[in-house]
Amino acid sequence: RKEVEQDPGPFNVPEGATVAFNCTYSNSASQSFFWYRQDCRKEPKLLMSVYSSGNEDGRFTAQLNRASQYISLLIRDSKLSDSATYLCAVNTDSWGKLQFGAGTQVVVTP
Amino acid sequence: EPEVTQTPSHQVTQMGQEVILRCVPISNHLYFYWYRQILGQKVEFLVSFYNNEISEKSEIFDDQFSVERPDGSNFTLKIRSTKLEDSAMYFCASSGPGQGAYEQFFGPGTRLTVL
């Protein structure tokens, strides 16, 4: 089983719609969880950290479900500029190596 | 807003040659990392560095790889004898201090092409 798994997509989303997708992790000792956004051939950009029961930042909401070992990202009122690959990242230390999923591609269409 | 910078943006080298990839982490950060991403694949951890020594390294980070913080600002990754399979995007990241140690910020990357 892969340590961090994501649905590769693509998720084709009409502009203004809501999209949500999950990321599962295998190590129950994982402590910190993050969502990054990656545009084509660019660096991962930190979108949100996900701690305890989750958090919200504008149109983006991240949730953590420790019992089922997954995190989710929900994007409301999708914009064309939200088109990107969303990477889930997990670590088991308070700092230290991040294990990334392969990413979920989101395509927002007019 | 402070950011991680990396040079060069693109490096082309011949197989067997040595390359040094350079990074300037965010100035007050204490933890430094190198990751790589082969085209079409996921981002993979190579090494973490704290207090002037390696904290953790992956299986990828074999004897051909080394890291150094030669002064108070630069953080380098050296590949001693490059192989074709080393062709990838190499990202430097930094984090910390305190609560910020959890969140890693990535540089724009160096695209390494080994011919």
| Residues A100, B43: C-beta atoms closer than 8 Å | yes
Query: Would an 8 Å CB–CB cutoff place B91 in contact with chain A?
Result: yes
B52-97 per-position pLDDT tens digit: 999 999 999 999 999 999 887 899 999 999 999 999 999 999 998 8
| Residues B58, A87: C-beta atoms closer than 8 Å | no
A1-22 per-position pLDDT tens digit: 679 999 999 999 999 999 999 9
Query: Would an 8 Å CB–CB cutoff place A79 in contact with chain B?
Result: no
Closest CA to B10 of B100, B90, B98: B90
CB-based burial, B75-100: b 16+ in 10 Å, e otherwise: bebebeebeeebbbbbbbbbbbeeeb
| Residues A94, B43: C-beta atoms closer than 8 Å | no
Q: Give the closest-approach CA distance of A44 to chain B in angstroms.
A: 6
What single-letter DSSP state applies at residue A17?
Answer: -
Mutate to test the interface with B, among A97, A99, A104, A105 (most CBs of B within 10 A): A97
A20-49 per-position pLDDT tens digit: 999 999 999 898 899 999 999 899 999 999
Whether the predicted pLDDT of B99 surpasses 70: no
